[in-house]
Structure 1
């Protein structure tokens, strides 16, 4: 799943190519991906791109339509908000294919399918695609980003200067939970998912199961530094890369996530994994858990 650094990379990439361009068309490919109906998707046609921004893991294309009737349901200044979810991505074209995007209702195809195609007045454009059988990519056309509940309820941005160790401490004090779960909770901290929470905890040398109310002031400071440092480095690594290279850049920068069975780059121990129903986490026992492997309940059941 694209997380804060990759989405920030997409924002920079898209803003540099489309700001000031007129949207000439937006064609839905997977009807299930479109989550709103007012304003309609057609409200984007003829609008000019004001710019791109990011809200957590959400992409936000802000536009304006100078000649629009402000009292119309096709209101001026529509936003296109996109959450790529686990299997979604953006495919950029300097020249959009001439093939017609035909609406479909979803389906079980594992290969990438087009959810939405957006075209601009210079012939460029992009497809939002999604792979896998679970189609969760979400497209919203709204008047304001806050009209989308998942955006309105996002927690603080971890790279905002206002996100201080004190803010993190207050978030951790709300309830006693595993720190991995806190980092992945978008209502607590925006933009961090499964991959970067693994990376942050490895940098902080903390178990993903460490309970938040067990943190000392020094622990909170160390975790805060790991959050800011890890994400800052990842954003810098993504900066300037075209959309097609961002996924590879993310994988290349991982220390433990997705590296099960490989050597930890810090201590040389083997990176281990804990599997869940729909995801897994990776960690280094030497760096993070005092050398103690974490129980993998799914593997334990197989061994019985």
Structure 2
């Protein structure tokens, strides 16, 4: 799933490419993708694109004196400029905005589950849009006090809290694992129980991991989000490899659609978590 660094780089690149262009055509290829009917997508035709901004893991295509197109890519959605071709687009195409110069801003869906969504909202609708209104603060520069406030309340596990956009916006599975590793924090510890030193480590780790990832994303993502993120990570996706810090083999906990990778020596005091997927198979 695209996360803060990839989406921020894409928003910046698309703004540079699209600001000032006029929408010449608008089409929906997958009707279930567009969740609003009033105003219709065709209301964007003739309007000038103001830019693209990111909030959490949501992209907002803004137009001068017009409604905004709010796009939530979810796991398999991709957004980017494509050559405007004649004929029917590929089966992954969900929504198109023709922006002149022989180019189309295209929302694609790589999965058959069709989880990506788009909402066309005026100013009032944008302000009331729950997925945006419920988002917590952005993580870069949040500081220890900001993290304390974000992680307070009912006791969630740390790895869950980091990915909860209502607590802090924009972090997903990949960077949550790397942030916890960089901060030497146990993924299954209680988020609300972190002490001052742990919160300070968390704040520094989040800033470092996300800032470095954003710098790398800017080098490879401009006007199109690749099908594969091609991230450079410390622990995410590296189960069974030596920890870059201590050399201990990295362990994992497998869930239905993803896995959490951690270093038992650096993060859990030598404790190895039970693999949920394997444990379930053994019980059956």
Scaled by the length of structure 2, the TM-score of the pair is 0.92
SS where residue 230 of structure 2 aligns?
A: helix
Contact conserved, 1:26 with 1:117, CA < 8 A, in 2?
A: yes
SS where residue 116 of structure 1 aligns?
A: strand
1:246 to partner: Cα distance? 5.5
Matches within 5 A, 1:16-165: 16-64=16-64, 76-93=65-82, 95-101=83-89, 113-144=92-123, 145-159=126-140, 161=141, 163-165=142-144
Contact conserved, 1:201 with 1:207, CA < 8 A, in 2?
A: yes
CA distance in 2, matches of 1:120, 1:264: 47
Q: Which residue of 1 aligns with 2:167?
A: 188
Deviating runs (4+, > 6 A) in structure 1? none
Q: Which residue of 2 aligns with 1:166?
A: 145
- For the pair 1:235 / 2:214, whether they are aligned, the reply is yes
Q: Which residue of 1 aligns with 2:197?
A: 218
- Residues 298 and 142 of structure 1, relative CA distance in 2, 3 Å threshold: same
Unaligned runs of at least 5 residues, structure 2? none
Deviations 1:177-224 (A, max 9, x none): 211111111111010111111111011111110112321111111111
- Residues 205 and 246 of structure 1, relative CA distance in 2, 3 Å threshold: farther
Deviations 1:65-115 (A, max 9, x none): xxxxxxxxxxx421011111011112422x31222359xxxxxxxxx7111
Give RMSD over aligned pairs.
Answer: 1.9
Contact conserved, 2:79 with 2:225, CA < 8 A, in 1?
A: no
1:298 to partner: Cα distance? 1.6
SS where residue 52 of structure 1 aligns?
A: strand
SS where residue 251 of structure 1 aligns?
A: coil
Matched length: 280
1:164 to partner: Cα distance? 2.7
Contact conserved, 2:148 with 2:192, CA < 8 A, in 1?
A: no
CA distance in 2, matches of 1:125, 1:180: 38
CA distance in 2, matches of 1:124, 1:206: 46
Contact conserved, 1:13 with 1:240, CA < 8 A, in 2?
A: no
CA distance in 2, matches of 1:143, 1:278: 35
CA distance in 1, matches of 2:262, 2:224: 28
1:126 to partner: Cα distance? 2.7
SS where residue 54 of structure 1 aligns?
A: strand
Unaligned runs of at least 5 residues, structure 1? 65-75, 103-111
SS where residue 135 of structure 2 aligns?
A: coil
Contact conserved, 1:119 with 1:125, CA < 8 A, in 2?
A: yes
- Residues 27 and 177 of structure 1, relative CA distance in 2, 3 Å threshold: same
1:253 to partner: Cα distance? 1.2
